[in-house]
């Protein structure tokens, strides 16, 4: 389970706008908004603290106890974030206040474990999805969900309906339509040769038929005695 809480002591932002956000980032602060049960509050979070909270086992689903300038704690989760397209660091965050006794929707990573029997015979394992949508209490959102693929043979497909989620966690994706993994037979060079030879044969037949087609066309334009036909005026 995620089950991790981190305290974030943040500042309240009085000034808004792009220039003010750039100034905050230069000071090592990440601009953001805390959406609570009352009015949204513009905040600035120390980048070091935010990075530390989101890179623990709880990851992006960790519960964040946000304290705004010495005020009360707001149990929150990461709602959305923006990243610099070049450097990759977080440039803005939206936090959502939650009640710890009410379930929330979250996205968690899917982890495959085990070596499929079909792979041992030369098959190829392909993962269908990387994340799953779940519903759980904020402190019970799992770090990830595992799927055992060790029994998959060549041609087998593992669907979401085949796994059992942790206690207290509800899977929200379609159980039958969501494919977690498949094992397919490898494509060998010799499998492609007959198709190539067939294609070449088809081309040879077409070339061989072309002169005959021309001869038929010529006969149709000639008279019975082989001389060009004439039209009487």
For every one of its 233 residues, what pLDDT tens digit does the chain have, with 9 covering 90 and above? 456 788 989 999 888 888 888 888 888 899 999 998 778 999 999 999 888 888 877 788 889 999 988 788 899 999 998 888 888 788 899 999 999 999 999 999 999 999 999 999 999 999 999 999 999 999 999 999 999 999 999 999 999 999 999 999 999 999 999 999 999 998 766 655 555 555 555 455 444 445 444 444 444 444 444 444 443 43
Q: Where are the beta strands (DSSP E) in the chain?
A: 5-12, 29-35, 41-46, 63-68, 73-83, 90-97, 104-113, 124-127, 131-136, 145-148, 157-159, 170-171, 179-184
CATH superfamily to which 5-98 belongs: Ribosomal Protein L25; Chain P (2.40.240.10)
Whole-angstrom distance, CA of residue 43 vs CA of residue 68: 8
Fold of 105-184: RNA Polymerase Alpha Subunit; Chain A, domain 2 (2.170.120)
Instruction: Give the Cα separation of 81 and 9 in Å (integer).
Output: 18
pTM above 0.75, yes or no: no
pLDDT at residue 160, rounded to an integer:
97
Q: What does the pLDDT read at residue 138?
A: 94
Query: What are the residue ranges spanned by the domains of the chain?
Result: 5-98, 105-184
Question: What pLDDT is stored for residue 52 in this prediction?
Answer: 86
d(CA 62, CA 47): 16
Looking from the CA of 172 toward its CB, the CA atoms found within 13 Å total 12
User: What confidence score (pLDDT) does residue 218 get?
Assistant: 43
Q: Sign of the CA dihedral 59, 170, 81, 47?
A: negative
Residue 6's CB is within 10 A of a number of other CB atoms, namely: 16
Distance CA 21, CA 84 (A): 13
Any idea what the Cα angle at residue 132 is, between residues 90 and 62, rounded to 5°? 45
Give the Cα separation of 87 and 138 in Å (integer).
30
Q: Kindly state the DSSP code that residue 228 receives in the 8-state scheme.
A: B
Number of Cβ atoms within 10 Å of the Cβ of 31:
22
- The burial of 155, by beta-carbon neighbours within 10 Å (0-12 exposed, 13-18 middle, 19 or more buried), is given as exposed
Give the distance, in angstroms, between the CA of residue 110 and the centroid of all CA atoms in the same chain. 10
């Amino acid at each position: 389970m995620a089950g991790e809480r981190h305290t974030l002591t943040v500042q309240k932002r009085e000034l808004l706008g792009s220039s003010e956000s750039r100034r905050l980032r230069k000071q090592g602060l990440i601009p953001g908004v805390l959406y609570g049960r009352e009015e949204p509050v513009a905040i600035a979070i120390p980048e070091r603290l935010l990075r530390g909270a989101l890179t623990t086992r709880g990851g992006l689903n960790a519960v964040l106890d946000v304290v705004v300038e010495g005020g009360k704690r707001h149990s929150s989760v990461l709602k959305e974030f923006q990243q610099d397209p070049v450097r990759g660091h977080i440039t803005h965050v939206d936090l959502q206040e939650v009640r710890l006794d009410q379930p929330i929707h979250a996205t968690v990573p899917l982890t495959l474990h085990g070596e499929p029997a079909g792979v041992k015979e030369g098959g190829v394992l392909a993962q269908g999805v990387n994340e799953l949508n779940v519903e759980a209490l904020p402190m019970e959102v799992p770090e990830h969900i595992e799927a055992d693929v060790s029994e998959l043979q060549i041609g087998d497909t593992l669907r979401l309906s085949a796994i059992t989620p942790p206690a207290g966690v509800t899977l929200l994706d379609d159980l039958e339509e969501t494919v977690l993994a498949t094992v397919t037979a490898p494509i060998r060079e010799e499998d492609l040769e007959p198709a190539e030879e067939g294609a070449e044969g088809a081309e040879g037949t077409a070339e061989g038929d072309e002169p005959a087609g021309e001869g038929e066309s010529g006969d149709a334009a000639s008279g019975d005695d082989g001389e060009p036909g004439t039209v009487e005026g």
